[in-house]
Amino acid sequence: MNIGEKVAFHSLGCKVNSYETDAMQQLLIENGYQIVPFDSEADIYIINTCTVTNVADRKSRQMIHRAKKMNPNAVVVAVGCYSQIAADKLKDDECVDIIIGNNKKHEIVQILKKYTGDSKYIAHFDINHEKTEYEVLNISNTAEHTRAYIKIQDGCNQFCSYCLIPYARGRVRSRKPKEVLEEVVRLVGNGYREIVLTGIHVSSYGTDFNGEVDLDSDDNILLSLLKSINNIEGLSRIRLSSLEPRIMTEEFVREISKLDKICPHFHLSLQSGSQATLKRMNRHYSPAEYKKSCDLLKEYYIHPALTTDVIVGFPGETDAEFLESRTFIEEINFYETHIFKYSKRVGTRAAQMDNQVDENIKTNRSSELIDLNKKNKKTFMEYYIGKNMEILIEEQLKFDDSIYMVGHTKEYVKAAVKSDRNLSGRFIEGRVVSFLNDDVLLIE
């Protein structure tokens, strides 16, 4: 294919996918391609797919078909998790020209150059091969202007009974600390004030190094990385994406609480507050162990923002188990709870389980937890009224004919200050006086 052609991207799913999309865009720009919006006419459309649920599969196919419809002569490229899992299906899809599995995204430029258009090109990789290594991708800029997501890890060894991701992403592979630190320095030099460390299973970071990486301390390797990042000049905030509750030991929480740039915002994956349901899910903790992790964070941080994911309608989930889960969510008092209806994934153990839950029951349980989440979120945000808060400005918002600049606090609470000036990238401190709307606090 010819350098200089117009390329449009669409990324579905998690922040890891977003990072990898940014990295592929950077590779193409460096090699002379022009990036254009996805809804415009392009020569090449690249869809970074997701397979976490049936809905994600369907959206991936829809975006592939939409791209070909926008320009029937364009080359449509399917990359990522759905491409990895459903390569055989995509081979028969006339809308797809190139199929790229995970661990081949770094070869996007070479693949496009090789493609002749004579037949479907498949760059598929056996992700489960024992010698799979971390795929090196880098970014200097992202689609966001103040916050940068940095991928530090790929793969998962957990094999939860409902999840396909270990089959799509493979076993745990960690990025070398030196490479992570170099990328943080580069992004800070380009004006980013906040970084988010992300991965498929961040809590497993470094477990695959087997002594191959030299550390300056005896710390947990993730903790050691956090301490090094905390020392980088010019960086103001460090966030961690989804974590397993078991990583929150007394030592880990005590040590990260000493790092002034770590944001008191922790996403601890729950999935269910019922012991019986967790066991069927093959989750490796109990509700009591999960609560202990939350209590530790509350002990070392003042009003930390705890967020989580919950699946409703998992096979065999009885009314009593759902009530147990709901009661547990109320007890923890999360800032935000992301609720998902169980999605049967062919190839997982859960798909073969008896007592699959009726869709109407899933919908009712989901609605109940969504209402609880709204209540919990409002209560959490009300705590800050009358207190001074600092926000990192990210975007402009028009509300009731007035212009506001909006950003997030360290706790990831959205807040706004009235201003018609572009304050993006600046820290603004003020007193929280009220709610601007249901999701945004007002600072004066």
Give the E-state strand segments of 282-366 in sequence order: 305-312, 336-341
Same domain, 191 and 273: no
Output the pLDDT for position 125. Answer: 57
Q: Specify the CATH number for the domain of residue 206.
A: 3.30.750.210
pLDDT in tens, the chain (444 residues): 666 799 999 999 999 999 999 999 999 999 999 999 999 999 999 999 999 999 999 999 999 999 999 999 999 999 999 999 998 899 899 999 999 988 889 999 999 988 877 777 776 555 554 546 788 888 887 777 789 999 999 999 999 999 999 999 999 999 999 999 999 999 999 999 999 999 999 999 999 987 666 555 557 899 999 999 999 999 999 999 999 999 999 999 999 999 999 999 999 999 999 999 999 999 999 999 999 999 999 999 999 999 999 999 999 999 999 999 999 999 999 999 999 999 999 999 999 999 999 999 999 999 999 999 999 999 999 999 999 999 999 999 888 889 999 999 999 999 999 998 989 899 999 999 999 999 999 999
Q: Specify the CATH number for the domain of residue 92.
A: 3.40.50.12160
Expressed in percent and rounded to 5, the helix, strand and coil fractions of the chain are 35, 25, 40
In a domain? residue 1:
no
3-class secondary structure per residue, 5-43: CEEEEEECCCHHHHHHHHHHHHHHHHCCCEEECCCCCCC
In a domain? residue 253:
no
Q: Specify the CATH number for the domain of residue 277.
A: 3.30.750.200
In a domain? residue 187:
yes
Contact by Cβ (8 Å): 348, 163: yes
Q: How far is CA 129 from CA 84, 122, 125, in A?
A: 13, 18, 9
Same domain, 340 and 426: no
pTM over 0.85: yes
Same domain, 283 and 340: yes
In a domain? residue 258:
no
Same domain, 227 and 139: yes
Q: Which of 372, 376, 411 is nearest to 391 (CA)?
A: 411
* Residue where a domain stops, chosen among 383, 404, 434: 383
Same domain, 292 and 375: yes
Please count the structural domains in the chain. Answer: 4
For residue 328, the SS3 value is helix
In a domain? residue 249:
no
Same domain, 109 and 141: no
Same domain, 142 and 180: yes
For residue 360, the SS3 value is helix
Output the pLDDT for position 116. Answer: 75
Output the pLDDT for position 254. Answer: 97
In a domain? residue 14:
yes
In a domain? residue 300:
yes
In a domain? residue 260:
no
* Residue where a domain stops, chosen among 55, 88, 123: 123
**In this structure, what are the phi and psi dihedrals at residue 61, rounded to the nearest 5 degrees?**
-65, -40
Same domain, 187 and 235: yes
Output the pLDDT for position 215. Answer: 56
Same domain, 18 and 57: yes
* Residue where a domain stops, chosen among 383, 402, 421: 383
Q: How far is CA 258 from CA 104, 106, 252, 255, in A?
A: 39, 37, 10, 5
Output the pLDDT for position 138. Answer: 87
Same domain, 225 and 145: yes
Output the pLDDT for position 123. Answer: 67
Give the Cα separation of 290 and 318 in Å (integer). Answer: 21
Output the pLDDT for position 129. Answer: 47
Domain that residue 190 falls in: 127-241
Same domain, 373 and 273: yes
Output the pLDDT for position 315. Answer: 98
Same domain, 292 and 395: no
